[in-house]
Structure 1
C-alpha cells in the first residue's frame, strides 16, 4: 500500500504542477499585455516589468490553487481510469475510497504549503509588487504607514499619529500632531484622546497643546474641547486598500482580534476571506472525484466529460464563495 500511496501522491503532484504552470503562464501573458503600456508610459525598463511579473507568481498560484487542486485530482483519477489502472486496483479488492486517499492527502499537504506561503512568502512579494506598481509606475507615493493598529502620516509641516476605529468615519483616537521648523525644532505638539473632522474643520477632546515660545521653552495648555485648523484633512491620509494584501495571516488575525466595531468586523471578514479561499480546493476535490466516477459509470466518459464538468463546478463554487463574502 505504501508503494501505491507514493505512486498516486507523485502523480497528483505532477499533474498539479502541470495545471498550475499552464494556468500561471496564461495569467502572466494576460498581465504582460495589460501592464505593458503602463510601464512604457512611465518610462520603466523591461527588467522592472519582468521582476514585477515574477513576483506576482506567488499571488497567482494562491488565486489558482482551488481550481488547480480540483483539476489535478480529476486528471490523476481520470488517467488511472483511462489506462485501466483503476479497474485493476478495484479488481484486486482495493476500494475506490482507499485509492482516492493519497489524492486527498496530497491536497491537504499542498494546502498547508500554501498556508505557509501566505504567511511568509506572499506578504514581502506583494509589498514589492505594490511598491513597483503604485509608486514607480502610477506615481502614487504613500506618506502614511500603519503599525500595530496605529497610523503614522507625514504631512507638509508635521507628523500625525492616530488610531482610526472605523475607516469610513472621520473619528480618531489617541490623536497627536507635531509640527517642526526648519531646524527640526518642535513648534507645536498637540495630543487629544478624541479627534473629529467635520464641516467646520478639526475639533479635539480631552488633550494638551504645547506651543514653542519665541524666547524658548513651551507654553502648555490642557483643554477639554478645542477647535483649530491643521494643514491636512483625513482625505490626505493616503492608506491604499491594496495594503491588505501585504499582511500575513497572523497579522490579519491580530487586526481582527484588536479591532472594534465596524473596523473589527471588516478585519474578520478579510481574514476569513483569505483563509476560506485557501481551503476552498479541498471541498471542490471531494465533489469533483465522485463526479468523475459517476460520469464514467453512467455515461462511459472519462476526462472528456469530467474536465468540463469540474471546470463548471469550480466556477460555480467560486461564484458561491464570492457571493457569500
Structure 2
C-alpha cells in the first residue's frame, strides 16, 4: 500500500465520516419530526423511541452512503486542488488519473461496506423496527395479516388457498397433482384448514380423491410435499422485498418463479441491491469528473448534489420500469450506473487527451 494511497484514503475517510454524521443526523431529525406525534399518542417511552431509531441506523447509512461518498470525493479533490497538492503531484509525475484510480479503490472498499451493512445489519434492523412500529406503536399483530385467493405450483401440485394468514394458517385448501410428463390429474386433496411452512404443509380433516379409481379417503391429518414459505406471499404483497437479503431474495425468486408467479419485479430488486453497492465506484469516477470541470468547491458540491438527485431519480425510474416489465430486470437495475459511468469516463477521457 503506497503512501499516496494511505494519505488519500485516510483524508477521504475522515471527510466521509464527518459528512455521514451530518447526513444521518438530518435524516433522523426529519424522521423524528414526522413520527413524534404518533409515538406520543401511543404512549411510547423514550427507550422504545431510541430503540426504534437505533436499529434503523444501519439501513439509513446504507441508503445515503453513495451520496455521502460522492460529496466526500468532491470535497477531498477540491481541497487538494486548493492547497496545490494536485499541482505538486502532477509536477512529480503523478497524473490526475492516478488519483482517480485511488478514489475508485476507495469506492470498492466502501461499496463492500455498504453491501455488508445493507444485507446483514440493515435487514435485521428493518425487520425489528417494523415489528416495533406495528406491534408496539400501531398495536397491530403481524400474524393477523391475511391474503385471499392464493395460488401456487410446486412439485407437480397446483395449490389454491381461499384465505391465508401470515403465520401459515389457511382455510379453503385445494390441491391437484398432475402425473409426471402428463396433463391428467391423478390426486385431488381438499381440506377446510391447512398449516403451511417451508418445512411442509399439513392439511386437517382432509379428503383425498383418486379420479382414476374413484377412491375417496378421509384423513384427520395429511402431510403434503409442499415447502412454499407463506411469508413470501406477504413479502410480495406488501413490498417488503427490500428487507430480504440478497441470498434469501434469490431463493424467493426461484420458489415464486417455479410456482408460476411473475418475478420480473423481484429480479429487478435483486440486481438493484448489487448495483447500488457498485454505485460507490461510479461515484468515485463521477466525483473526479466533476472536479476536473469545476474545481471550485462550492460549484462542485452543488453539481454533486444535483448528480446525486439524478442518480436516485434514475434508480427509482428504472426500478419502476423493471417491476412493470417495460425493461429487462438487468437493464432496469444497472442502467443508472451505466449512464453516469459513461458520462464521467467520457469527461475524464477528454481531460486526459487535452493534457
Query: Which residue of the partner structure matches residue 262 of structure 2?
Result: 263
**Counterpart mapping for 1:166-185 below 5 A:** 173-175=158-160
Q: How many pairs align?
A: 266
Query: Which residue of the partner structure matches residue 222 of structure 1?
Result: 209
Query: Which residue of the partner structure matches residue 299 of structure 2?
Result: 305
Query: Which residue of the partner structure matches residue 217 of structure 2?
Result: none
Question: Given the superposition, is the C-alpha separation of residues 221 and 291 from structure 1 closer, same or farther in structure 2, using an over 3 Å criterion?
Answer: closer
Q: 2:311 aligns with which of 300, 317, 323?
A: 317
**Counterpart mapping for 1:188-227 below 5 A:** 191-193=174-176, 207-209=188-190, 220-222=207-209
Cα distance, 1:280 vs. partner?
Answer: 2.2
Question: Given the superposition, is the C-alpha separation of residues 210 and 24 from structure 1 closer, same or farther in structure 2, using an over 3 Å criterion?
Answer: closer
Query: Which residue of the partner structure matches residue 244 of structure 1?
Result: 241
Match of 2:43, SS state, is coil
**Counterpart mapping for 1:81-230 below 5 A:** 81-143=81-143, 164=152, 173-175=158-160, 191-193=174-176, 207-209=188-190, 220-222=207-209
Give every structure 1 segment of 4 or more consecutive aligned residues whose post-TM-superposition deviation is greater than 3 Å: 162-165, 172-177, 188-191, 218-221, 237-240
Match of 1:193, SS state, is strand
1:244-271 superposed Cα distances (whole Å, 9 cap, x missing partner):
2321111112222333254322221221
Question: Given the superposition, is the C-alpha separation of residues 223 and 190 from structure 1 closer, same or farther in structure 2, using an over 3 Å criterion?
Answer: farther
Cα distance, 1:104 vs. partner?
Answer: 1.2
Q: Tell me, yes or no, if the aligned pair for 1:284 and 1:317 is still in contact at 8 Å.
A: no
Cα distance, 1:210 vs. partner?
Answer: 6.5
Structure 2: which 5+ residue stretches go unaligned?
Answer: 163-170, 178-185, 193-204, 212-232, 320-355
Match of 1:143, SS state, is helix
Structure 1: which 5+ residue stretches go unaligned?
Answer: 146-152, 166-171, 178-187, 195-204, 212-217, 225-236, 297-301
Q: Tell me, yes or no, if the aligned pair for 1:123 and 1:248 is still in contact at 8 Å.
A: yes
1:190-228 superposed Cα distances (whole Å, 9 cap, x missing partner):
55238xxxxxxxxxx9523479xxxxxx7845276xxxx
Cα distance, 1:144 vs. partner?
Answer: 6.5
Cα distance, 1:72 vs. partner?
Answer: 1.1
RMSD (CA atoms): 3.3
Question: Given the superposition, is the C-alpha separation of residues 173 and 122 from structure 1 closer, same or farther in structure 2, using an over 3 Å criterion?
Answer: farther
In the alignment, the residues of structure 2 paired with residue 29 and residue 43 of structure 1 have an alpha-carbon distance, to the nearest angstrom, of 20
- TM-score w.r.t. the length of structure 1 is 0.72
In the alignment, the residues of structure 1 paired with residue 189 and residue 298 of structure 2 have an alpha-carbon distance, to the nearest angstrom, of 73
- TM-score w.r.t. the length of structure 2 is 0.66
Question: Given the superposition, is the C-alpha separation of residues 317 and 209 from structure 1 closer, same or farther in structure 2, using an over 3 Å criterion?
Answer: closer
Question: Given the superposition, is the C-alpha separation of residues 222 and 190 from structure 1 closer, same or farther in structure 2, using an over 3 Å criterion?
Answer: farther
Query: Which residue of the partner structure matches residue 282 of structure 2?
Result: 283
**Counterpart mapping for 1:5-154 below 5 A:** 5-143=5-143
In the alignment, the residues of structure 1 paired with residue 191 and residue 268 of structure 2 have an alpha-carbon distance, to the nearest angstrom, of 41
Match of 1:139, SS state, is coil
1:261-284 superposed Cα distances (whole Å, 9 cap, x missing partner):
543222212212322223223223
